[in-house]
Amino acid sequence: MKNVNKTKKLIFDAAIKSFSQKGFHKTTVDEIAESAGVAKGTLYYHFKSKEEIFKFIIDEGTRIIEEEILDRTEHLEDPVEKLRTICYVHIELVTKHVEFFKTILSQMWGNEERQNQLRDVLAGYFKLIEKYLTEAADEKYIKDKNMEIIAFNFFGVMISTIIYSLMHREKNVKDLADTFVDFIMGGIGK
């Protein structure tokens, strides 16, 4: 986590762990502070509420994913290879940070403010996926249909693949990503 001080990093890790294990509503600020090894006052110095902590972990976690994707795709020319790389990054990050993704998935539904904020952050991330899909369509690798819907579908199928990878940890990340991209390209490819 670049540009995040040590205390915020401790709170970030503790909050993700608590949210993924107990859920948002059952997690308390006291538990997050204790797990992070910081005083409650220190936690409140950095964050006004549990909701603000949640927003921070979603913003920061998504930023990390986007940066990793951009770093790993910037040198690639082939749009299909870029899509494949997105899959590699996701599968690698999910298996490494399963609690973060568990927290995201558990909070995607509902109409509370944090859930709306989460969907807004994810919408920005889906725009990044849509950009890569549009590049592939421009190069005639995939059908030029509604890229916004395809980006959501791409993410949904990728999440299913990630769940599979978590259940079958012995599977190779590259093999899973290759299978996923081949499957997706068969559906949206030309």
Q: What is the pLDDT of residues 90-130, one digit of tens each?
A: 878 877 888 888 888 888 888 999 999 999 999 999 999 99
pLDDT at 27 over 90: yes
Which long-range CB contacts under 8 A does 84-90 form with residues at least 24 apart?
84/177, 84/178, 84/181, 86/129, 86/132, 86/158, 87/158, 87/161, 87/176, 87/177, 87/180, 87/181, 88/173, 88/174, 88/177, 89/65, 90/65, 90/158, 90/162
- Structure confidence by residue, pLDDT tens digits, 6-21: 999 999 999 999 999 9
pLDDT at 171 over 70: no
The pLDDT assigned to 36 comes to 96
> Helix, strand, coil shares of the chain as percentages rounded to 5?
75, 0, 20
The pLDDT assigned to 75 comes to 96
The pLDDT assigned to 46 comes to 95
Tell me which CATH code domain 50-188 carries: 1.10.357.10
The pLDDT assigned to 1 comes to 64
The pLDDT assigned to 57 comes to 94
139 vs 184, which has greater pLDDT? 139
Q: How long, in residues, is the chain?
A: 190
- How far is C-alpha 2 from the geometric centre of its chain's CA atoms? 17
The pLDDT assigned to 52 comes to 96
Across the chain, mean pLDDT equals: 87
Determine the Cα–Cα distance for residues 94 and 170; give it in Å rounded to an integer: 15
Q: Note the pTM of the prediction, 2 decimals.
A: 0.84
Q: Which of 32-36, 78-82, 88-92, 145-149 has the lowest mean pLDDT?
A: 88-92
142 vs 34, which has greater pLDDT? 34
Determine the Cα–Cα distance for residues 136 and 169; give it in Å rounded to an integer: 30
Strand partners, 142: 189
Determine the Cα–Cα distance for residues 91 and 85; give it in Å rounded to an integer: 10
13 vs 181, which has greater pLDDT? 13
Phi/psi-derived region of residue 110, left when phi > 0, alpha when psi is between -120 and 50, beta in every other case: left
Residue 140, SS3 per DSSP: coil
pLDDT at 82 over 70: yes
- Encode 52-85: b = buried (16+ Cβ within 10 Å), e = exposed: ebbbbbbebbbbbbeebbeeebeeeeebbebbbb
Domain ranges of the chain: 50-188
Q: Which of 56-65, 90-99, 131-140 has the lowest mean pLDDT?
A: 90-99
